[in-house]
Amino acid sequence: MDATYYLNGGFKPTTKRFADLDGPDFFPTPAWATHALIDNEEFVGDIWESACGNGAMSKVLERTGNQVISSDLIDRGYGEGNHDFLNSWRKAPNIITNPPYNAAEGFVQTGLEKAGKKFALLLRLAFLEGANRQRTIFTDAPPSRVWVFSERITFYPAGTVQKGTGTTAYAWFVWDKDATSGTELKWFKPGYKALYSSGP
């Protein structure tokens, strides 16, 4: 069985998920995109990076001084491999990750159950669209804050030369268990790409 997911979070037995397997289909998260989150959101307690890949995001999260737990469905040599977030026994005060695109809705539903304080997902801004998500996620459990990137994120296959800019808008979607108001739309100030592009 191919260990990938359907849109609703169930396993997809035959079709490979884009940007999830080893080799040319694996796209690590640029360090500056994670720095933007931790510079603007405070996380108290342990952090679980539940789709850690090669540890690109986990290494930045460690700069918060918090204990970082790393796992991934695919074993890429970093953290705990072969760990299925959607069916995991683990819980943590905070969960931060860039989920597989085809499993984003499943990650939201699972993260809301397993995060005690905050849950943050790096998603396409277009995730805000869709009648199904409006019914299944945003009506009952809307994010507390949506941090929109002023600069475009470009995801490159691991090991390739990074150049050019992406064409897709991304945002950090943050669910905060202590928030008392509705969804707040915020923007990251430009400059994170230049400030942190050299690494964590």
3-state secondary structure 106-141: HHHHHHHHHEEEEEEEEEEHHHHCCHHHHHHHHCCC
- Residue 68 pairs in a beta bridge with 47
Confidence of residue 5 (pLDDT cuts 50, 70, 90): very low
pLDDT value at residue 2: 40
pLDDT value at residue 187: 97
pLDDT, tens digit (0-9, with 9 covering 90-100), for 106-161: 999 999 999 999 999 999 999 999 888 898 889 989 999 999 999 999 876 555 55
Q: How many domains does the chain have?
A: 1
pLDDT value at residue 8: 46
Instruction: Indicate whether 101 pLDDT > 70.
Output: yes
Instruction: Indicate whether 14 pLDDT > 80.
Output: no
Rounded to an integer, the average pLDDT of 90-98 is 97
Residue 155 or 21, more confident: 155
Q: Given CA atoms 78, 80, 81, 86 in this order, what sign does their dihedral have?
A: negative
Confidence of residue 181 (pLDDT cuts 50, 70, 90): confident
Q: Which residue range forms the structural domain that includes residue 140?
A: 4-196
pLDDT value at residue 156: 62
Instruction: Indicate whether 17 pLDDT > 50.
Output: no
E strand segments, 40-197 = 47-49, 68-70, 92-97, 115-124, 145-148, 170-176, 184-187
Contacts of residue 44, defined as CB under 8 A and 6 or more positions apart, other chains included, come to 66, 93, 94, 117
Q: What are phi and psi of 95, to 5 degrees?
A: -130, 125
- CATH value at residue 85: 3.40.50.150
Confidence of residue 163 (pLDDT cuts 50, 70, 90): low
E strand segments, 16-62 = 47-49
Q: Which amino acid is at 142?
A: P
- Residue 56 pairs in a beta bridge with none
Q: Is 167 exposed, middle or buried (0-12, 13-18, 19+ CB in 10 A)?
A: exposed
pLDDT, tens digit (0-9, with 9 covering 90-100), for 39-93: 999 999 999 999 999 999 999 999 999 999 999 999 989 999 999 999 999 999 9
